[in-house]
Amino acid sequence: MAKTKTTFFCQSCGYESAKWLGKCPSCSAWNTFVEEVITKDEGPKTEWRQESTRSKAMRAKTLNEIESTEEIRIHSIDEELNRVLGGGIVPGSLVLIGGEPGIGKSTLMLQVGLLLKKQRVLYVSGEESEQQIKMRAERLGNTSENFYILTETNTKSIFLAIETVEPHVLIIDSIQTLHSAQLDSTAGSIGQVRQCTGELMKFAKETATPVFLIGHITKDGMLAGPKVLEHMVDTVLQFEGDRHLAYRILRTTKNRFGSTSEIGIYEMLGTGLREVSNPSEILISQKDGPISGVTIGATIEGNRPLLIEIQSLVSPASYGTPQRTPTGFDQKRLNMLLAVLEKRCGFRMGTQDVFLNMAGGIKVEDPAIDLAVCISIISSMEEISISDKICFAAEVGLGGELRAVNKIDQRISEAEKLGFQEIYISKYSQKAIGLKNTKIAIKSFGKLTEVFEDLFG
């Protein structure tokens, strides 16, 4: 006889309560509790199970008793995906990929699955039919004899297909469409998402099969489902970009097997996603001539150096309170830099509207572009253009001093490779420079005012 239990879940964070609450004690959201009926069946379970691996009793081991093995990864043809995963796909890992509708999540995973020609790949879709996936694969212009497609949402049927195919890689599109018979709630609810992810995690760990989960996001840009979902998986990837632009960024927000600061850049074409091996070329726009308010900053994303174009527009404020509108840059940091320019350098920024844009639609958090931002703002304010052969890499302190930044050698090498003639850095970064016989001129200063004197006279 089945035992029925009714509980309430917060649809925002997954908090569980025995009764309905107006306000969630965990995330403080209002009117988010939904009643779900949980049925605990005494019969055989439908989730993945491997009795042979658990037949013998497990015992605790000391650290010295555990043998260290060489890390084995599955290298896909997609080098951008290999980079964000930390060097390749880890066997037994659970990877969650989130992004806005229509951004290209399904196209990315279908393309990756088709490129893994030496591994059997099972693509489980709960949103599209087999014919629709076939049409998309033909548009990508790629095929594979080891690529299997299953259109199913019941986890019991999915695990039966897994036992038949025995895939090396499993792709689920999407986790919100799956339904487990262990719960009576509808697909996409908090309980179903957590239960289905738990069954897939057990399968991945016991068989050393990497599993990719495609997830939806909410209107706030957060991954849909309970927050515990992000804690359960090994890696969380965010696929982002403007649907009106061609470029997409695959960003790592959590990775148990690598760095969380790596990014992969793709270009959306009619034939699929193209890897962008040299992102600096797309982040620097082509111009007919010099324009005021445009500078180039050297930033680092993970281990990859990037040169990005900073665009500023400064104009007299039409209203009492001047506007500060950054795109791809932190609002509070922009206010701080404007205060430094007014207090330490004597520029009257309190009566000016300031608009700042990171070209290419990328969001930058590296403080090393502070100097490029300051030069860009003053260049627009004074209507003086900066040469497109000059780039900047230094952090600006509250006292107007230039602070050293990390990996300065890589920034200089990237600027030299792209044909820049001069780079302005902090004089405190000189001891970290190990380059010799560089063709690019390295100019080092200690204060922001010294850079202004050198550039503007």
Whether residues 198 and 254 share a domain: the answer is yes
Whether residues 268 and 310 share a domain: the answer is no
- One-letter amino acid of 204: A
What span, in angstroms and rounded, lies between the C-alpha atoms of 413 and 431?
A: 16
Residue 106, marked binder: yes
Whether residues 292 and 243 share a domain: the answer is no
Whether residues 270 and 351 share a domain: the answer is no
Q: Which whole-number Å values give the CA distances from 418 to 107, 291, 389, 421, in the listed order?
A: 32, 20, 9, 9
Residue 99, marked binder: yes
Whether residues 352 and 419 share a domain: the answer is yes
* Helix, strand, coil share of the chain (percent; to 5): 30, 30, 40
Residue 103, marked binder: yes
HSE-up (13 A, CA, CB side) for residue 414: 24
Residue 58 covered by a domain = no
Query: Nearest CA to 209 among 245, 137, 258, 158?
Result: 158
> What's residue 304's pLDDT?
84
DSSP state of 104: S
Residue 48 covered by a domain = no
Residue 105, marked binder: yes
Whether residues 292 and 315 share a domain: the answer is yes
Residue 53 covered by a domain = no
Contact 249, 265 (CB under 8 A): yes
Residue carrying structure tokens 């095929």: 143
Of 277, 309, 324, the residue at which a domain comes to its end is: 277
Contact 268, 246 (CB under 8 A): yes
CATH code, domain with 433: 3.30.230.10
Residue 439, marked binder: no
Query: Nearest CA to 365 among 313, 297, 423, 417?
Result: 297
Of 277, 297, 323, the residue at which a domain comes to its end is: 277
Contact residues for 55 (Cβ-Cβ < 8 A; gap 6+): none
HSE-up (13 A, CA, CB side) for residue 182: 18
Whether residues 156 and 110 share a domain: the answer is yes
Query: Nearest CA to 361 among 431, 309, 432?
Result: 309
**φ, ψ dihedrals at 135, nearest 5°:** -65, -40
- Residue 311 tokens read as 């665009």
> What's residue 362's pLDDT?
82
Of 277, 308, 343, the residue at which a domain comes to its end is: 277
Q: Which whole-number Å values give the CA distances from 188 to 46, 191, 216, 346, in the listed order?
A: 18, 8, 10, 57
- Residue 350 tokens read as 């309190």
CATH code, domain with 125: 3.40.50.300
- One-letter amino acid of 385: S
Residue 56, marked binder: no
Whether residues 84 and 197 share a domain: the answer is yes
- Residue 415 tokens read as 């600027």
Range of the domain at 363: 282-456
SS (H, E, C) 243-257: CCCCEEEEEEEEECC
> What's residue 55's pLDDT?
45
DSSP state of 227: T
Helices (H), 176-226: 190-207
- One-letter amino acid of 307: L
What span, in angstroms and rounded, lies between the C-alpha atoms of 53 and 50?
A: 6
Contact 39, 4 (CB under 8 A): yes
Residue 408, marked binder: no
Helix (H, G, I), strand (E, B) or coil at 381: helix
Strand order in the sheet with 247-255: 147-151, 121-125, 169-173, 211-215, 94-99, 235-240, 247-255, 263-269, 272-275
Any idea how long the chain is? Answer: 457
Whether residues 29 and 126 share a domain: the answer is no
Whether residues 124 and 219 share a domain: the answer is yes
Residues of the chain with confidence (pLDDT) below 70: 1-4, 37-58, 69-71, 218-227, 243, 286-288, 432, 434-436
- Residue 379 tokens read as 């260049």
Residue 59 covered by a domain = no
Whether residues 237 and 380 share a domain: the answer is no
Residue 332, marked binder: no
- One-letter amino acid of 380: S
Count of domains observed in the chain: 3
- Residue 374 tokens read as 């300051």
Whether residues 238 and 306 share a domain: the answer is no
Residue 124 covered by a domain = yes
Encode pLDDT of 62-71 as tens digits. Answer: 988 888 766 6
Contact 185, 191 (CB under 8 A): yes
Residue carrying structure tokens 């230094």: 394
Burial of 223 (0-12, 13-18, 19+ CB in 10 A): buried
Residue 90 covered by a domain = yes
